[in-house]
Chain A
């Protein structure tokens, strides 16, 4: 088990290294540099700026420098767009907010999605099933940039129940709309995955045996079906969790949440290399970890996959 974990982590490091290299060259391929503003900056000033940031040095030096700084000192350098603000500071301000938003949304998605899926599977082909699955379908099809503004218009502006802009860790009301909007799509997908997983298990022989022995429905569902029925969802949750944190860009824009996503978009728009590296590596690390966690969760839920490996 430990050997496998170490193995997977090492693979992850290779992935991150490749990611860094790809990002480095993609940034170089951008048709604009970091000092491209609407009001042109004088040429001699740009030269100075490039020299200060080492952008006038040979490519291999430019490639190695951030890598060295990150590995040896954990220092991601400074942002060019934000006039020298350390990338570490930017990320440490924004990342906790992204994590907070992502975690709450994931929990809410699980709390909505799993029970809905189980109920739907148990009441297969009933009105309840159709209703739940139709809702889930709508949740999947409507993107958050449609749902978000609608919720904000109605609950925020018209009913004045929740703020429509901003994020305050100490004020629960500011979380409601972004968290709810972000969780909807994931809840819908989870509901569908759980339904099919549970249905799969419900048709197994051991469930029939349990029924014949007179085990109560609730017990069959919770004790016998849930574990096996959750495997598809578990495979999904790990990567989805990484995705929910990195994928909250839209929500951040709609509700003006000061998370990492907005920095990311801005950094790409302005060729702010160090910020791009920082965020790409962080997201890459999260996806890698999410996948590993998912694998281990499945191994725990499903004895067969343990035996296979």
Chain B
């Protein structure tokens, strides 16, 4: 018996010594390391090969573009790799003066040649960069990328000297500084990339731990797949004295419930996303952690306008007017805002509201189109991808049934098939969304043109495209926006997409994380984030 109890005691001791005394967040507060739930593991850190938001967070810590992000405002354009910039009168030519003395994390200088090299690599046909269209603003960029011209000297990017970068555009882009904040416009270190392969080599080791060199506030420390990516302060960063954190750890928190639990157990400073069904609980129990920030994303019903009945704009408008967006956002889409246009808040751009909740009009339109009280309406289904959209689709299904007496089925597919069905126009209506890359209406409107790979509705309009074209050639920023307002109004009157919500970023964050403000693009400069390491008053 004594032996058994001894055995038990030793096991119990082991058990309790294994328990944690200080939480990981407390330890990280001391060490000034930020523990971030990042929603998944990056696919790669080669900024020319990736397209995702998850990657952008890590890349944003390792690299810096011409123009920086401000911790408090999306529209502020602080200097970063460039110290100043100017444009010609019609916004088609920009000259960026680079920061002299700025260095890569290996101590080599960052020059205009690195930028030219970077854009050359991204546009190189053999590299096959998936996000390459982000650089098509540049004169001749598309032609070079598609192999129509082979001399990069014809592309509108020149290094006039080590610190002067001249960019010629194919059309006026008054919002170019904002675009250059996107990681596709960041520089890569020419000397390092070429050390590991040719300019067009896709799969090289230049981004591996130990090889990768960046110009951002942090450098890559370690990356264990599906476990974490750790970055630490870059001693060669030009503004290193103002970098508050010693490092950031990104965790691939795919499971939002696990992530929330980890946050509450003291393993994370902030989460990537709070599951909508946990919002009410958090509002009640942990209001001091909960944040709901507006975000440049829209959720909408995408309609296949090549289907009978759905090809009638009156039907689409009826479906749109029958959606009670407010109750949708209050119940299933916790934290999201009811949308009456496609584009969410983009600063100066103010689209006209066309749609709303109007049952009388909806029913009248439906009757006018030949389906009084839903009679004779074909049996269609709402396509959804696996994941969190089921409850939204059920709510929409119920609204259409109740308000218009039209029954839609719900068809769920795995993610790949769901995307594929949309691209092949093999669906009736589907729930989809779009997240803006920068704060300009083009990021939401250009995709609805004929043949665009992201349109997937079968809808196009010559008038709409003419308006976009007029806007593209307008050198007057105010006039330009007016064209977009008209274009979006037309799109909304036609309703090939039925917007219902503007996204919000709903997440948990420790109050000790300072200088973290709501930002529409959610591009928080890691260099500005602070951690308050003082013990909190009990």
At the interface, yes or no: B461 with Cβ under 8 Å from chain A? no
CA distance A254 to B51 in the complex (A): 27
Q: Is A62 an interface residue (CB 8 A)?
A: no
Decide: A153 and B203 in contact? CB cutoff 8 A.
no
Stretch among A16-24, A41-49, A215-223, A238-246 lining the B interface: A41-49
B516 to A: closest C-beta gap in Å: 21
Rounded to whole Å, the gap between the CB of B470 and the closest CB of chain A is 25
Task: Assess whether A162 is interfacial by the CB under 8 Å rule.
Answer: yes
Whether B44 lies near A44 (C-beta < 8 A) is no
Cβ of B354 under 8 Å from chain A: no
Tell me, yes or no, whether B522 is within 8 Å of chain A by CB: no
A36 in contact with B258 (CB, 8 Å) = no
The answer to whether the Cβ of B234 comes within 8 Å of any Cβ in the partner chain is: no
Residues of A within 8 A of B133 (CB): 42
B-contacting residues, A77-92, CB 8 Å: 78, 81-85, 90
The answer to whether the Cβ of A277 comes within 8 Å of any Cβ in the partner chain is no
Q: Tell which of A193-201, A202-210, A262-270 binds the partner.
A: A262-270
Interface-side segment among B61-69, B79-87, B221-229, B365-373 = B221-229
Q: Is B530 an interface residue (CB 8 A)?
A: no
Q: Chain B interface secondary structure, helix, strand, loop or mixed?
A: loop
Contact-residue size bin, chain A (C-beta under 8 Å from the other chain) = 35 or more
B175 at the interface (CB under 8 A from A): no
Q: Pick the contact of B125: A32, A38, A48, A81 (CB < 8 A).
A: A48
Question: B37 → chain A, closest Cβ, in Å?
Answer: 9
Query: Is A172 on the interface with B (CB-CB < 8 A)?
Result: yes
Say if the beta carbon of B195 comes within 8 Å of chain A.
no
* A125 CB within 8 Å of chain B: no
| A96 shortest CB reach to chain B, Å | 12
Chain B, 125-184, CB within 8 A of any chain A CB:
125-126, 128-133, 145-146
B225:A165 contact, CB within 8 angstroms: no
A164 & B18 in contact (Cβ 8 Å cutoff)? no
- Find B23's partner among A30, A160, A165, A270 (CB 8 Å cutoff): A160
Interface residues on B, range: 35 or more
Is A41 touching B18 in the complex (CB atoms < 8 A)?
no
Give Cα A235–Cα B141 distance, bound, in whole angstroms.
64
Point out the residue from B252, B265, B420 that lies within 8 Å of A256, measured CB to CB: B252
Surface stretch bound by A, among B331-339, B343-351, B410-418: B410-418
Is B423 within 8 A of A36, CB to CB? yes
User: Smallest CB-CB separation from A40: which chain B residue?
Assistant: B453
Would you call B416 and A173 a contact (CB within 8 A)?
no
Given contacts A157-B264, A160-B20, A160-B265, contact A83 B49 (CB under 8 A): yes
Is the Cβ of B265 less than 8 Å from the Cβ of A157? yes
B238-271 vs A: 1/0 string, CB under 8 Å?
A: 0000000000000111110111011011111000
**Are B20 and A163 neighbours in the complex by a CB distance under 8 Å?**
yes
- Are A163 and B454 closer than 8 Å at their CB atoms? no
Q: Is B126 touching A269 in the complex (CB atoms < 8 A)?
A: no
A276–B416 alpha-carbon span in the complex (Å) = 15
A167 touches B416 (CB 8 A): no
Contacts of B442 in A (CB 8 A): none
Check if B130 sits within 8 Å of A41, measured CB to CB. yes
Convert B39-69 into 0s and 1s, putting 1 for each residue whose CB lies closer than 8 angstroms to a CB of A: 0000110100111000000000000000000
A42 to B127 CA separation, bound complex (whole angstroms): 13
The answer to whether B416 and A93 touch across the interface, beta carbons within 8 angstroms, is: no
Which residues of chain A (110-157) have a CB below 8 Å from chain B?
Answer: 149, 152-153, 156-157
Residue of A nearest to B225 (CB): A93
CB within 8 A of A165: which of B146, B262, B423, B453?
B262
- How long is the Cα–Cα vector from A160 to B25 in the complex, in angstroms? 13
A255 within 8 A of B: yes
Interface string of A271-287 (1 = CB under 8 A from B): 10000000000000000
Q: Are A83 and B258 in contact (CB under 8 A)?
A: no
The residues of B with any CB-CB pair to A shorter than 8 Å are 18-20, 23-24, 43-44, 46, 49-51, 125-126, 128-133, 145-146, 202-203, 224-228, 251-255, 257-259, 261-262, 264-268, 414-417, 419-421, 423, 453-454
User: Can you spell out 5 A-B residue pairs with CB atoms less than 8 angstroms apart?
Assistant: A36-B423, A81-B43, A83-B44, A84-B44, A94-B225
Closest 6 A/B residue pairs (Cβ): A84-B203, A40-B453, A32-B416, A83-B44, A258-B226, A48-B128
